[in-house]
Structure formats: C-alpha cells, structure tokens
Structure 1
C-alpha cells in the first residue's frame, strides 16, 4: 500500500550563511558617497546625518551604531551584520541587502522603498514605520521583531517568513506574495490590503482573528440576529 507523500504547503526561505572574517576597526571620519568599505568593524560609531549614497559594505559589522538621518540610498550591503543599530529616518531607499543579518535593531521611519533584500534575517528589536514600498524581498525572515505600521505597498515577497514576530497595522496594498509564511507570527494586524494575502499561508486561528477584516474587505456586515 503506497503512502501519500507530504508536500510542503510553502517553500521555506534560505537563510544567510554569514561567516565574517577578522575585521579591522573603522577609523574614518565621515562616510563617502560611493565609498568602498571592506572587512571593517563599525563599533558604537555615530553615523548620524552622514552621507554615503551608493556606498558598498562587504564583510562588515555595524554594532551599536547610531544611524539617525543617515543617507545610504542605493548602497550595497553584502555578507554583513547590523547589530543593535538605532536611529530615525535612515535612508536605504533603492539599497541592495544580500546575506545580511539585522539583530536587535531599534529604528523608526527606515526608508527601504525600492530596495532588494535577498537572504536577509531581521531578528529581535523593534522597527516603527518601516517603508518597503515597491521593494523586492526574497528569502527573508522576520523573527522575534515588532514591526509597527510597516508599509509593503506594491512590494514583491517571495519565500518570506514571519516567525514569533508582531505585525501591527501593516499596509499590504498592491503587494504580491509567493510562499509567504505567516503561521508562526505572534500577532497579525492588517490595516490595508488584506486582499493581497493570496500567496500567503496563515493558520486556522489567524483566519478567525482576521475574519472581520476579510468580511469588511468584501463588504459583508456581521451582525447578531
């Protein structure tokens, strides 16, 4: 008698395999536009207000850095770790993040519109008003992080997992999803675009929680007799 093979309902994301080499301490004064930073450790460095659009960070670690109003538009972060970074208004619009870990960040108003994230883990911490409009996310894991009012408007998400994280007042307007796993999210609150969850997987309990939002989206009133 043949056994029925279990077919996974969603493809899991590939996580980054980050192995940083021995790093040299960063001893610069100011970031430079189109600057090239290779094998450097930025430790408790105040990069607030600095201008580094188009810069490339390869095999770098940014730990405890301040990134208030730091301009890193169209920057490239490759095989790098950002740990305990903090800041408001960091501009990473159009940036490319590949094989990157973001650990215990405390940030607000981060601009990642039009960015490309591939094999990225965002773990712990809290990020308010994360702007990912028109971004492309592939093989991305959000785990143990609080995302307050994230904007995924028009973004493309493929093999993205939300694990033990809180998703509050999320905007999914125009988003496109494939193999997006929400089943292990601690909290899901969709403000707009609940109809864009096609391509995502949720749990039965989450379906009950989201029932009023689904009903409102299709114009169904729920009233007691």
Structure 2
C-alpha cells in the first residue's frame, strides 16, 4: 500500500536544510569535488579493469561497452550514453557525472565515493550491493533504481525524481532527501540511521514502512502516513458509531 506525504508542512523543509531542527539527526557530509585540469578521453572504448585518471568523457557513446572493474579517478562524464554499459565492480572516485543517460546500466557492487551525479536520466540502473559514500544526486530522474543490499553513507538526493527506488535490505546512514520526489519507494528489510525525509517534496512508501525507525519525518508526513502505519500495526480505523446506537 502506497502513501504520499509532503515535506512542506510547518516549514520543516527549511529546518532540514539549515540544521537538525532540534531532532539530533546527524547531517550528511557532502562531497567536495575539485577536479584538476582534465585531458579529453580519446580511447576506443571502455576496457574491463581499465584505469581512467583525470579524463573528461564528453558526449561519448559508451552504450553496451564492458568496463567491469574499471577505476575512474578525478574524471568528468558529461552527456554520455550508458545504455546497458557494464560497470560491475567499478570504482568511481572524486568525479562528476553530468547529464548522463541510459537504460540498464550495470553498476552492481561498485563503489562511488566523493561523487556528484547531476541531471541524470537513467532507467533500471543496477547498484545493488554497491557502496555510496559522500555522494550527491542532484536533479534529473531515475526510474527503478536498484539499491538492494547497498550501503549508503553521507548521501544526499536533491531536486530529483526517483520512481520506484528499491532500498530493500540496504543500510542507510546520514542520508537526506531534499526537495525530491520518492514515488513507490521500497524500504523492505532496510536499516535506517539518521535518515532525513522531512524535506522530501513527495514521499510515497510502497513497502517497508515498518523500517522507518532511525528516520525523521515531518508532522505533516506523519499524518499522511497514519493509515498505512495503522494497517502495519493491525489497527482497524472505523468511524465512531452514533450515540446510543
């Protein structure tokens, strides 16, 4: 059962931006990516276990290529196509990915550390079993994001749309959702610590509402989620009978 909630009630979105608002929730540490002067990428294609350092990939068509186990360090990927690109076990470090697009990109069991992902248009991206640390996902839209059994620490989702993201069995620590839409999110078996949902523009939980311990939500979101929380606890909510009946 899915429920929607907003992060706007009572000015809580502003509180979420500027501080803990008295809740004691720990804030996510954002990445500070400072790229060096970059060399244009001039390769013939990605290679398994490839080593890419200080390169700019601009408008490259990387669809269907195999870069499993590759390392991207101090790189920028701008406007690249990643349809069915295989990046299993890849490491993306101190890098910026802007305007990337693709369906079925395989980043399973990869590591993203100190990464900015901006204005992405992705569908069915596989990040299950991956590690994300100090990552900002800003703008864009990602459909069917698979983060099952992933570990997220110091991650911010900002001004983006996530359609049916799957956090099943994942561990989230110091994760913030700011002005973003969460549609049909799955938190089944997830473990949440200092997860701030107050500033989410839309919060629609399809599964795993019982895993919200360790998260902070706004009073308005609590009211919106009350029916599904009651159902989860087995509480029947029925209108009161007229007096004397």
Name the structure 1 match of 2:84. Answer: 69
Quick check: 1:106 aligned with 2:106?
no
Q: Secondary structure at the match of 2:80?
A: coil
The gaps in structure 2 that reach 5 residues or longer are 1-20, 241-245
SS at match of 2:194: strand
1:56-82 alpha-carbon deviations (Å, 9 max, x no partner): 000000000000000000000000011
Match of 2:146 among 120, 131, 141: 131
Q: Give the C-alpha shift of residue 48 in structure 1.
A: 0.3
Once the 2 structures are TM-superposed, how far is the Cα of residue 212 of structure 1 from its aligned partner?
Answer: 1.2
Q: Distance in 2 between matches of 1:7 and 1:171?
A: 28
Matching residue within 121, 132, 156 for 1:141:
156
* RMSD of aligned residue pairs (Cα, Å): 0.9
Alpha-carbon shift at residue 213 of structure 1 (Å): 1.2
For residue 9 of structure 1, report the CA deviation from its aligned partner: 2.0
Give SS of 1:118's match.
strand
Match of residue 151 from structure 1: 166
Residue 243 of structure 2 is aligned to residue 208 of structure 1: no
The alpha carbon displacement at 1:219 in A equals 1.8
2:175 maps to which residue? Answer: 160
Find 1:31's aligned residue among 46, 53, 56. 46
Match of 1:79 in 2: 94
Q: Could you report, residue by residue, the CA deviation over 1:98-139 in whole angstroms, capped at 9, with x for unpaired residues?
A: 000000000000000000000000000000000000000000
Q: 2:131: which partner in 1?
A: 116
Structure 1: how far apart are the matches of 2:223 and 2:170? 26
Question: Which residue of structure 2 aligns with residue 93 of structure 1?
Answer: 108
Cα offset for 1:216? 1.4
SS of equivalent residue, structure 1 residue 208:
helix
Secondary structure at the residue paired with 1:104?
A: strand
Query: Which one of 178, 187, 197 corresponds to residue 182 of structure 1?
Result: 197
For 1:130-159, what per-residue CA distance to the aligned partner results, in whole angstroms no more than 9, with x for missing partners?
Answer: 000000000000000000000000000000
SS of equivalent residue, structure 1 residue 214: helix
Gaps in structure 1 of 5+ consecutive residues: 1-5
Q: Residues of 1 paired with 2:30 and 2:157: CA distance?
A: 11
- TM, length-normalised to structure 2: 0.88
Q: Does 1:223 align with 2:238?
A: yes
The structural deviation recorded for 1:8 is 4.6
Aligned to 2:8: none
Q: Deviation of residue 220 (structure 1)?
A: 1.9
Q: Distance in 2 between matches of 1:176 and 1:166?
A: 21
Higher relative contact order (CA 8 A, sep 6+): 2
